[in-house]
Every structure is written in structure tokens, then in C-alpha cells.
Structure 1
Amino acid sequence: MIVQRRAVTAMLAAAVLLVTAGCSSDDGEDQAGGTPAPSSTSPGTSPSKETAEDAPPAKGSVKVVRTVAEGLNSPWGLAPLPEGGLLVSSRDEGTITLVDEKTGRKKQLGEVPGVSPAGEGGLLGIAISPDYASDHMIYAYFTSESDNRIVRMLYDPKKPSGEQLGAPDTILRGIPKGTNHNGGRLAFGPDKMLYATTGERYEGPLAQDKESLGGKILRMTPDGEPAPGNPFDDSPVYSYGHRNVQGVAWDAKQRLWASEFGQNTWDELNQIKPGGNYGWPDVEGKEGESGFIDPVAQWGVEEASPSGIAIAEGSVWMAGLRGKRLWRIPLKGTEVSADPQAFLTDEYGRLRTVVSAGGNKLWLTTSETDGRGTAESGDDKILELEVK
């Protein structure tokens, strides 16, 4: 029987954060923080026409349907295949594993060459080509000895287990690497362009330097070229002023949302606009300063340290590492329509990645074997959730 931590259901109340100083890591282990602040639109921002959309109920619910798989080592990226099965990247082993979502059986596809795991770096996000039916390409973001880079590999299921990944073709290199703050999430958007999140490797000014790939959300073609319509000429930079983004998702209106690690004070949920400056390192959280876009929601860092996000049933679902909980943030247009709610608090430990499984279901991965958790029997796991 799987050993579970004592379940605690936590409801969020608006409060004032008491800040203590400290230097944070990507996962927030050295962060200091307190209770979350109320959710609201950015100061001085007028409601958009999108707010006419119906809001989901103020209160939602989460049900853990089952444990899909267990015994995973440092799982980071999760990508469902069109034909069935879940691809899971191991940050520290540099491998990609196929998990049968019905039986939980695991089969290693292969090891990604060139991965150099250290600290929070290693094999991070993975994504499936929008033309997967014809090209069978898997995309991966990883830390090498010199940089962070994005590659694509042919997946050939007819080859023997462990040899099913082709040689990596690097489509983007030169993303700044560090012990921490490597970003790493990959996702294809509704426009079939590839989006990647990057960190500023503890060098805050990189986030404001539009010539640097650090501290950004990038948008590119499947070949790694700057995507048509990007806000800056001949550049993959889509938004900037980010400290370390690890979660991106699109809502029903194809608007992009992103979660971001704060430092000492606020973790953030942002609605991303092309060319937008999200403030780091000049501001953290909602400051209302001209020239910067404020987050739509913020949390004391002990409550979140957010990684992956997904959107289902009209809400953003945000996995918390240090917070050890799953946040529900109900949306109405580009605003948060009610106080966020916390679920699964301390029940499964650190939570890394959340992915839509269709309808009102989500896949959720734990992250207790990443060097900062307390691994128990069965860790790490993939859970199937029903949400509303």
C-alpha cells in the first residue's frame, strides 16, 4: 500500500504577508514568506472586454481518482502521446520513460545525450510535435555542460526499448544556465509555435536584457527560428522581466498564462502579453509601476513556489513545490474571479507538473525525489485527478 502523508485541506484567506529576508532558490527552499494576498487585477488596469465571460464557481473541488504510476526518479516533464501513454522526463537520469496510463507499466525510451544534471538543471520540459502523426518528433529542454538548449528527437517505437530515441537535433542553444533558475518548461501553443520558459540563473539584469535569452518566455517555430509576429525583430523573445517561469498554459480564448517563482516576497500568476515586461528584478509582485505588467495573483512564497500549470473547468491549476499543494485559481476573462483555493496540502509532498488529461481530468506529478523532498515508498508518482 502506498504510504501517504496526512491530508490537510487548506482554504486561502486574504492576509498581509510578513516578509523576512533571505535568498531563494528556484524551488523556494530558502524563501521566506507567509499567507497569500487577495487576488485582483493589476493596479490601474481597466477591465477588458474579456471579463464578460462567465466565471466558474467560486469554490471548486479535487478528487484523486487513482495513482497512475509510481517509483519515478526526479520526474520533471510530462507529455501525453496522441496514441496513448505518458512520456516522462527524469531530470537527474536524463532519460525519457513511457508510462502506460492504464496499467502504470514503465518502459524507458532512451537517454538524451548531452544532459548534464546539477542542482536544478538536467532534463527538464518535454513536448510533442504538433505534427507528431507525420513526424514522430519529441522536443526536450535540458541543461548541458555549457548552456540550456532545446532539441528534438525522432521517436521510433519499433526499435528495442532503451534505443527508441533518435540523435538529438539542437534547434536552440545559448540559453543561460546556472545551478538554479534554469526555467525549462516547453509547450506548443494553439498557434503551433513552440514556447519555452527560461530563468535568469541568479543574474537579475539578464531578465531585462532583451538581447539575452535568460529570464524570458520564448516563442519559436518548430525549427527553432523566431516565430512570425514576435514583438522584437528577429528574436525568439516573447515576454521578458521574468525571474524563473516553469509553468505555461492557454485558456479557451487562447490567452497565455504563466506561473513564476518570486524571491523573498511574492510568487506570481501572470497573464502574458507579447512584448510585455513583467518587472524582475526591478519589482516583485504587484507594485503598480509604470512600464511593468503586474501579476493577476500573488502568493507568499511559502504557500506556492509554483512549477507547472494547466487550465481546466475555467480555472488555472498550479502545482506548488515548497507549498506542497495544488492551487485552483478561477478566472473570468483576464481577471481572477474569486480567492484561490488550495488542495492536497501536505498530502503528496512537493508537486511539480500538472497537465490536462481532457475534460475535467488532470495528470499531476509529485517531486519528492528531487533532492529537496522527503521520499517515501512509491515516490515519485503520477496521479489522476477529477477537478471542478
Structure 2
Amino acid sequence: MARAPVLLAGVLASLLLPAAAAAVPTGDPVTVAEGLRTPWEVAPTPDGRTLVVERDQGVRVLDAQDRLQAGSVLTRSAVAPDATKLLGLVLHPGYATNHRLYLYAVRAADPDGTGPATGTSGIWRLRDEGTRLVVEQQVFRGIDSDGNHDGGRMAFGPDGALYVTTGDIHQPARPQDHGSLNGKILRFAPPSGSETELAPAPDNPFAAEGGNARYVWSLGHRHPQGIAFDAAGRLWETEHGPTGEQHGSAYPGGNDQQGRDELNLIVRGGNYGWPLVSGPMTRAGTIAPLAYAPDDGAWAPGDVAVGRDGSLYAPFLRGAQLRRFDVRAGAVIGQGQHLQGLGRLRVAVARGDHLLVAQDGSAAKLLRLPLSEPIPGGSDAADPPAGPGGGAGGGGTGGTNGGGTGTPAAPSATTATARLARGLRAATTRLGERRLRAGRGATTRVALPAGRVTVELRLRSSRGPRLSRTTRTVPSGRTRTWAIRADARGRRLLRRTASRRIVVRVVTRPTGAATVVRASGGTLRR
């Protein structure tokens, strides 16, 4: 496609955005790949490729230009002849040199016949040879499966340990039993990449009990769907709530209950209650979710991803949306909804300045969703606000309950500069992806501080080559609409570069002092 002259008109949006939203998804989602069959995991690689696990088929690959390659680099039957599902996929921390990955898969039956008739789950080590993934060997086995509540997400922590979720397989005694591998988050010692068996981390909370308890990091989980570590090293988890199952008076968390899907902050040895409690129910010794779905409005969350601003993004299957959870110091202080109307969403993965979001189903799409830039001191830099939901969780006191129908009050007033930065980022990313790509402009308005205001277009970064500069005086109390286009020199520069990134840089000089506010135009396809 020929590169059109670039016009960016009206880079500015309202100052009155929620103070909790340090950065938000902006712009229209861009389709990266179509025709995927039940994508369950997406794993970007350091060389720019993206591996996509199709649950019932195998692993597909998008090349560095996001072109979906024909065929699979790994088929389900290549993992094991009796494999029924492929679930989590994670790169070894040393992948750049050893090219190892780990895959969670479900088999129809354990070869030695010791598992239940419905099957078992396990972990396989793979080697990436570029054009194919080679199965080296199975490195963990014995997690019982019922073909449904299998968990199956994996993540490496900042400690190098491998964390793995497992489902309760509809057996209520298992999540509270230290000796069962089901209904848990398991933690394995940092793998070498050449091990024959994954070992339990020696400092796991129940290591002294021996047996399966050596692997358990947290318990009381029903059907954990996503895990992710934030920049502070905290582990977050999304989990499916009850669907009215009857487990008797000993397990009141599920009896006749609906909805109550959870967002949990996972701590060492934590008991998250299932099936003793769910949602707003409390019980000594259990940890409440920091956010949960209402009884009459299930989320059915899929994955969970941590954006570059520290916010959490969870795709919903039942809720058919991408939900944003803004967090500070381990507390949820705000929520937002995105990508509504796109059907069931299962996967969300952060990749640089955008999210990769996968739909569910037999003809699913992989979407790219741009993120605005976080402001300095982002959403996880301050202590949580006082009041309901302000606690950091992890002590059995819980956090933001109420199903997301209400959120705790936002922190006290943020500065006008921070609000302006947030508005700029949201507007420029949205206009950039939708308008610059098509070579067209759009107009929005913003209330700017009175004084001298300079707006620049820059290539690649806020310090990159300048495409244009406009300086004006803003009278007090006025709202201005500006049309900003690359000048002749800027258009020549754009024609010569392969960069897709344009940054809007605003300098305001109220009362004689310079305040620099930056905003990103998003990742563009020109």
C-alpha cells in the first residue's frame, strides 16, 4: 500500500478521565490472523514470531511480519498419540539460547493405567527449531483430568520457578487436599532445560508434608484460567466461579451459587476457599478475591495479562469483553470494559505497546489492541486508597467485592498535567490507529492550560526526528481544536522510513514554567 501524507487533527481529548486509568486500550482492534480453531494460548518469541496453541489441533506460528503460516509447527498427536487437548505454552527463561519451551497437555488415559478413566494432564518440554517444535520428553505427569476443569496455564516467575494452574475436575474434596495436585497452583524449581523430571521448589509452603504436597503453592481453586506476574513480582490469577453444582452441606461455596468468577492475588500457601466459599462468602483461613462477578452476571474469564501501565487485562468468555482492572500496591482501585461486541474472548497477552487478544471458537481471530503510554509514576506507584477495597489482599480480608458493579473511590485529585497526559495518549493512539493508517484526520477538543502551548509530531519516540511543530497562545478558559499535519520535510522523512510509530509531544508553559507532556500515536500500518 502506498504511503499517504500523514494528517493528525485534534490530538486532544477530555481532561475528565478517571484518575485510576494510567493507560487504557485505545483505537480499534486490528485483525492479525483469521480462521484459527479454538486458540488457547499465545506466546510471542524474542525473534518477533508468535506461537498460537490451537487447543484441539496443534501449534501455529505467525512470522515476524504477523503473517499466519500454513500448517502446524507441532501437531497434537506429535505430543502424544492419545493427547486430547493442548493448553498452556511458556518459553523457558533461557529460551534465547536454549530454545526450550514447556507445554501443558491432556491425555485420554495414563499409559500405566493408574489415572482415572477420563485421563491425565502433564507437562512436556519442547525444542524450537524454527520451522517446527520438537517434543523432547514429558517432564511431569499424574495431574488427573476430567476433560473440562483442567486449568493448564503456566508462567515463569521472577524467581525462575515454573507456576502451573490445575482445575478441581468437579471433585470437591481435591482443592482443599494438600495431597492432591488438582485445584491448585503448583510451583516447580527453576528447570535447567535438560531435566528429565520437573522438581518441586524446595521452599514451597507444604514441602515438609512430602508427596504431592511438595508441589503446592496455593490451594482452594476451582477452575483457574489465567496467571501473570506484574512488575512488582506479584502473581495474579483469574478463575471460574460456580455454576450451581451441588456438593452438599460440607461445601457451601457451590450449592445453588452462580457467577462469582474471581480475580485473585496469589500468595505463598494461600487458601482461596473453593468449595468452602465463593464470591462474597467469608471463612477463617481463606483469602477473598480482589474482584468477583455478580451472581447474575458471570464473566467466565480466560487469560490475564499485565499491561505496561501495570493494569490487568482479562478476556471474558461469558461476558464477551476485555475487562481492565487498575491496581495499586496490590489493590484493585478501578475497572473498565473494552472490546465489547466481539464475542467470546479467551486469550490476552501483552506485547510491547499493545495487547494480543484471541477470540474463542472454531473460526477465531487474533487481534492487536494498542495501549496508550503509561504516565510517569503509573497506576501501581502509589499506596491504595483508604476505605472498602483498599486492602492489598492476601490476609484473608479480601478486596474489591461486589462483582465490579461498583469500584472504590479513585485517589484524590491528580494534577492537570497528569490528566492532560492521559487524555493525549488516549486520543492520539485512537486517532493514530484509525485515522493515520487511512491517511485521514479527525477532530476532538481539549481544555488546555492558559499560556503558550507547543505541539510536535515526532517519529519513533518523543526525542525522534521532528515531523512538524505548531505553537499557539491559549486564552484562559478556552477549548481549542487543532489540525496538525506533517510538514513537507516531515512527509519526505515518512516516505523514507519503515517506522510505524508517531509520537505527539506537547509542551505547555503556564505561568512561565515548562511542563512536558508526551503522547503516543500508536503502532501504525501505513
Q: Distance in 2 between matches of 1:278 and 1:131?
A: 32
C-alpha displacement of 1:84: 1.2
- TM superposition outliers: structure 1 runs of 4+ over 6 Å: none
Please say if 1:216 is aligned against 2:184: yes
Decide which of 212, 219, 232 is 1:240's aligned counterpart. Answer: 219
Which amino acid counterpart does residue 133 of structure 1 have in structure 2?
A
**C-alpha contact (below 8 Å) 2:101/2:128 kept by paired residues:** yes
Decide which of 341, 346, 370 is 1:386's aligned counterpart. Answer: 370
Residue 277 of structure 1 aligns to a residue whose secondary structure is coil
**C-alpha contact (below 8 Å) 2:259/2:298 kept by paired residues:** no
1:142-172 Cα deviation digits (max 9, x unpaired): 1011200011111212xxx5xx222341111
Please say if 1:99 is aligned against 2:62: yes
Q: Distance in 2 between matches of 1:210 and 1:64?
A: 46
**Which residue does 1:73 correspond to in 2?**
37
1:21-59 Cα deviation digits (max 9, x unpaired): xxxxxxxxxxxxxxxxxxxxxxxxxxxxxxxxxx84288
**Which residue does 2:46 correspond to in 1?**
82
More relative contact order, 1 or 2 (CA 8 Å, 6+ apart): 1
Which amino acid counterpart does residue 363 of structure 1 have in structure 2?
L
Which amino acid counterpart does residue 104 of structure 1 have in structure 2?
R
**Which residue does 1:128 correspond to in 2?**
91
C-alpha displacement of 1:110: 2.1
**C-alpha contact (below 8 Å) 2:224/2:239 kept by paired residues:** yes
**C-alpha contact (below 8 Å) 1:84/1:101 kept by paired residues:** yes
Give the structure-1-normalised TM-score. 0.77
Please say if 1:149 is aligned against 2:122: yes
Which amino acid counterpart does residue 148 of structure 2 have in structure 1?
N
**C-alpha contact (below 8 Å) 2:47/2:64 kept by paired residues:** no
- Go from structure 1 to structure 2 and tell me whether the alpha carbon gap of 1:103 and 1:353 turns closer, same or farther (over 3 Å shift): closer
Give the structure-2-normalised TM-score. 0.57
**C-alpha contact (below 8 Å) 1:115/1:142 kept by paired residues:** no
- Go from structure 1 to structure 2 and tell me whether the alpha carbon gap of 1:65 and 1:193 turns closer, same or farther (over 3 Å shift): same
Residue 306 of structure 1 aligns to a residue whose secondary structure is coil
**Which residue does 1:307 correspond to in 2?**
302
C-alpha displacement of 1:188: 1.2
Q: Distance in 2 between matches of 1:177 and 1:243?
A: 13
Which segment drifts farther, 226-235 or 247-256?
A: 226-235
5+ residue gaps, structure 2, are: 1-18, 110-119, 243-257, 373-526
**C-alpha contact (below 8 Å) 2:299/2:316 kept by paired residues:** yes
Spell out the pairing of 1:187-226 with structure 2 (5 A cutoff).
187-221=155-189, 222=191, 223=195, 224-226=198-200
**Which residue does 2:267 correspond to in 1?**
273
Which amino acid counterpart does residue 361 of structure 1 have in structure 2?
H
Q: Distance in 2 between matches of 1:173 and 1:138?
A: 17
**C-alpha contact (below 8 Å) 2:260/2:298 kept by paired residues:** no
**C-alpha contact (below 8 Å) 1:185/1:197 kept by paired residues:** yes
The structure with the larger Rg is 2
- Go from structure 1 to structure 2 and tell me whether the alpha carbon gap of 1:213 and 1:275 turns closer, same or farther (over 3 Å shift): same
Give the aligned length: 313
1:232-285 Cα deviation digits (max 9, x unpaired): 115111100000101011112110000000012300000000100000000011
- Go from structure 1 to structure 2 and tell me whether the alpha carbon gap of 1:58 and 1:129 turns closer, same or farther (over 3 Å shift): closer
Percentage of identical aligned residues: 38
- Go from structure 1 to structure 2 and tell me whether the alpha carbon gap of 1:319 and 1:117 turns closer, same or farther (over 3 Å shift): farther
Q: Distance in 1 between matches of 2:359 and 2:26?
A: 16
Residue 325 of structure 2 aligns to a residue whose secondary structure is strand
Which amino acid counterpart does residue 296 of structure 1 have in structure 2?
L
C-alpha displacement of 1:228: 3.5
Residue 134 of structure 1 aligns to a residue whose secondary structure is helix
Residue 175 of structure 2 aligns to a residue whose secondary structure is helix
- Go from structure 1 to structure 2 and tell me whether the alpha carbon gap of 1:115 and 1:351 turns closer, same or farther (over 3 Å shift): farther
RMSD: 1.8
**Which residue does 1:229 correspond to in 2?**
203
Residue 275 of structure 2 aligns to a residue whose secondary structure is coil
5+ residue gaps, structure 1, are: 1-54, 370-378
Q: Distance in 2 between matches of 1:213 and 1:167?
A: 24
Residue 305 of structure 2 aligns to a residue whose secondary structure is strand
